[in-house]
Amino acid sequence: MGRYVIRRLLQMVPVFIGTTFLIFVMVYALGDPVAAMFGDRTPDPATAAQIRESLHLDDPLWSQYLQYMAGIFRGDFGTAFNGTPVAELMGSAFPNTIKLTLVAFAIEVVVGVGLGIVAGMRRGRLADTGVLVFTLLVISIPTFVTGYLLQYFIGVKLAWAAPAVSSDVAFGELLLPGIVLAGVSLAYVARLTRTSIAENIRSDYVRTATAKGLPRRRVVGVHLLRNSLIPVITFLGTDIGALMGGAIVTERIFNIQGVGYQLYQGILRQNAPTVVGFVTILVVVFLAANLIVDLLYAVLDPRIRYA
Amino acid sequence: MTTTENKQAVPAPRAGQQAGTPLLQVRDLHVEFHTRDGVVKAVNGVNYSVSAGETLAVLGESGSGKSVTAQAIMGILDMPPAKIPRGEIRFRGEDMLTMSADARRRLRGAKIAMIFQDALSSLNPVLTVGYQLGEMFRVHQGLSKKAALAKAVDLMDRVKIPAARSRAGDYPHQFSGGMRQRIMIAMALALEPDLIIADEPTTALDVTVQAQVMDLLAELQAEYHMGLILITHDLGVVADVADKIAVMYAGRIVETAPVHELYRNPAHPYTRGLLDSIPRLDHKGQELYAIKGLPPNLLNVPQGCAFHPRCPKAQDLCRTDTPALHTLGEGRRSACHFWKETVNG
């Protein structure tokens, strides 16, 4: 196991370098950050040159990348073009996004797995058909549509929840955005759980558990779920990264000053250090989530052994 | 067990002597499966009984209804699609089909236990064998996790699994096929049930291991004086351990007999065909006999005797009239219009 972890960590190095280099190239080489800084106005050539000089923009790209990476490992993510250190932006943005992710994740697990269990155990009956139709609808409608619709009807018309999140970012306020963010993943989790349950409920070991005289609760809760949830947990693990990075639309709609919001602003203003910095962190989150899922997999299924 | 507290828990040997009430009685059992293609009549009026200490072998091809009958007795059929439109399954005189679901569950595992064919798929792959064995004691006797594990280790010792203590923490896939089947047997024996149903317990095993597992099962059965229903299609296994045999075909019992009489003198053409299909050393070099044709489609069982399309002795009567189960003698019955001619060769 230890050797496996080390090997996996080493494998992460090229992935990390590859992804960050790609995003670095896309942001720095394919746009002109200095022009973006001045917006519609044309910068004074001398000033522009000075800025280029101070940001090392005239160095070869690989050299800029190396300098940037060296900075990251010292905890220096550079300075956004408005003068705020990127690390400071992260400090304010990540807690908000993590809160939102937690709320969405909780909803995804509870509702998604719950619906999946109900549908899988009553396959072919009304409850099952209902869940299938509902999840199909949720998957088909884009997040920005469900987001605005829920914001308008629940937030404005019915006023059950605040239509926008205040700067405190309290957990209660995050319920509505959490539902919107969780929506599509939740539908996938429900379908995955349903398939897995429906498949395992016919298995021989569930029949054995019944033949042992175990109460239904125990047959389902211990024997059926332990096996059926293995693929679901794998999906949930990788989805944490997707939720954190995928909150751009949701955070915009509900005015949450999180990672998605900062990224959106960064892209809009071609604020290169912000974009690269945030994406780098997200890459690390994705890689870590994937590793944890793979390790968890071996814990949940004893037939899998890593050497 | 003391003799003062035995109203329900009658000591097994005595139950065997009460000739009036066998341990288990199946009467006129029908099981059908409602599928998209129609109603599959898997079991059509099965009758059999088992007493304590007795071994009943149920013999038949795949699809003859032998496993479905067993699952109906255990109460582990998926309903729907399965349905039991008629019949009784009496355990110690009480009809299990009319019991409350909870009362029935308490019998499962504790009084009637089942051993399945494929131990690898029948054991939960993600739980240790110690846990799965201990579960019997935790659920039925309310033992603590620790006490249950100790009992599980004892059980593993009992079915001769080497180094039981250290192996209790292993998972099913870490055992060999024979050892896994021993664990299944241990699980069935855990609460010293009155009746064990073994559904092809040795089919998935090597021949040498088959004999070991059957010996173990027979030994433990004698020790606890349990009733045993042995479901199999292996005539060799049956001869050694069974007291009586029920031969099933297309969801019906076509012949029942004490084991040696059945081998010596079968009273149904199907049984005769089965016995003739066994390879024999003194027939070396000759073509092996096989019953011609295929087992019937249970969606559409032939009119009259279900075996008539394959029967060498079939006559017009067989195509129109379903034969009754004629009594030939003590414990001998045959569902053939021409049983007399069959018995005489």
What are the backbone dihedrals phi and psi of residue B88, each rounded to the nearest 5 degrees, phi first? -135, 145
Q: Look at residue B16 and tell me whether its pLDDT is greater than 90.
A: no
Q: Look at residue B5 and tell me whether its pLDDT is greater than 70.
A: no
In a domain, B323, yes or no: yes
In a domain, A26, yes or no: no
Q: What is the pLDDT of residues B188-208, one digit of tens each?
A: 888 889 999 998 888 777 777
Give the mean pLDDT of B148-169. Answer: 87
Instruction: Output b/e per residue, B46-84; b: 16+ Cβ within 10 A.
Output: bbbbbbbbbbbbbbbbebbbbbbbbbbbbbbbeeeebeb
Give the mean pLDDT of A262-275. Answer: 82
Predicted local distance difference test score (pLDDT) of residue B15:
40
In a domain, B91, yes or no: no
Q: Write the single-letter amino acid at A53.
A: E
Structural domain containing residue B296:
246-345
Sheet holding B112-115, edge to edge: B112-115, B195-199, B227-232, B55-59, B244-249, B252-258, B332-334, B326-329
Q: What integer best gives the mean pLDDT of chain A?
A: 84
In a domain, A123, yes or no: yes
B173 closest CB neighbour out of A212, A227, A303: A303
Choice among A167-171, A250-254, A286-290, B49-53 with the minimum mean pLDDT: A167-171
In a domain, B282, yes or no: yes
What CATH number does the domain containing A280 carry?
A: 1.10.3720.10
Q: What is the pLDDT of residues B217-266, one digit of tens each?
A: 888 888 888 899 999 887 777 877 888 889 998 888 888 888 888 888 88
Inter-CA distances, B168 with A279, B110, B145, B181, Å: 48, 21, 13, 15
Strands B252-258 and B332-334 come out as: antiparallel
Min Cα–Cα distance to chain A from B113, Å? 7
Higher pLDDT, A57 or B173: B173
Angle at B244 between CA B241 and CA B246, to 5 degrees: 115
DSSP category for residue B45: E
Reported ipTM: 0.81
In a domain, A129, yes or no: yes
Percent of chain B with pLDDT over 70: 94
Predicted local distance difference test score (pLDDT) of residue A152:
83
Strand partners, A83: none
> Which chain A residues have a beta carbon less than 8 Å from that of B118?
204
Measured CA to CA, the distance from residue A119 to residue B261 in angstroms comes to 53
Predicted local distance difference test score (pLDDT) of residue A247:
80
Q: Look at residue B21 and tell me whether its pLDDT is greater than 50.
A: yes
Predicted local distance difference test score (pLDDT) of residue B208:
79
Strands B94-95 and B82-91 come out as: antiparallel
Long-range contacts of A1-6, Cβ-Cβ distance < 8 Å, separation of 24 or more = A1/A295, A1/A298, A1/A306, A3/A307, A4/A306, A4/A307, A5/A291, A5/A295
Structural domain containing residue A290:
86-300
Predicted local distance difference test score (pLDDT) of residue A54:
74
Q: Which of A38-42, A156-160, A243-247, B255-259 has the highest mean pLDDT?
A: B255-259
Which class for A74: exposed (0-12), middle (13-18), buried (19 or more C-beta within 10 A)? Answer: exposed
In a domain, A34, yes or no: no
Min Cα–Cα distance to chain B from A291, Å? 21
A229 → chain B, closest CA residue = B126
Domain count, chain A: 1
In a domain, A47, yes or no: no
Contact (CB<8Å) B136/A207: no
Contact (CB<8Å) B116/A300: no
Residues of A with CB under 8 A from a CB of B: 202-205, 207-215, 218, 222-223, 226-227, 230, 300-303
> Which chain B residues have a beta carbon less than 8 Å from that of A210?
76, 108
Higher pLDDT, A161 or A303: A303
Of the candidates A68, A79, A82, A77, the one whose C-alpha atom is nearest the C-alpha of residue A39 is A82
In a domain, B194, yes or no: no
In a domain, A29, yes or no: no
Domain count, chain B: 1
In a domain, B340, yes or no: yes
Measured CA to CA, the distance from residue A96 to residue A267 in angstroms comes to 19
Predicted local distance difference test score (pLDDT) of residue B20:
54
Measured CA to CA, the distance from residue A272 to residue A159 in angstroms comes to 39
Q: What is the pLDDT of residues A181-229, one digit of tens each?
A: 888 899 999 999 999 998 998 899 999 999 998 998 899 988 999 889 9
Tokens of B203: 């089919």
Q: What is the pLDDT of residues B273-304, one digit of tens each?
A: 888 877 777 777 777 777 777 788 878 878 88
In a domain, A196, yes or no: yes
3-state DSSP call for residue B50?
strand
3-state DSSP call for residue B113?
strand
Give the mean pLDDT of A19-24. Answer: 87
In a domain, B177, yes or no: no
Residues sharing a CB contact under 8 Å with residue B337, sequence separation 6 or more, in sequence order: B305, B315, B317, B318, B321, B323
A201 → chain B, closest CA residue = B78
Tokens of A214: 């175990």
In a domain, A151, yes or no: yes
Q: What is the pLDDT of residues A85-100, one digit of tens each?
A: 888 888 888 888 888 8
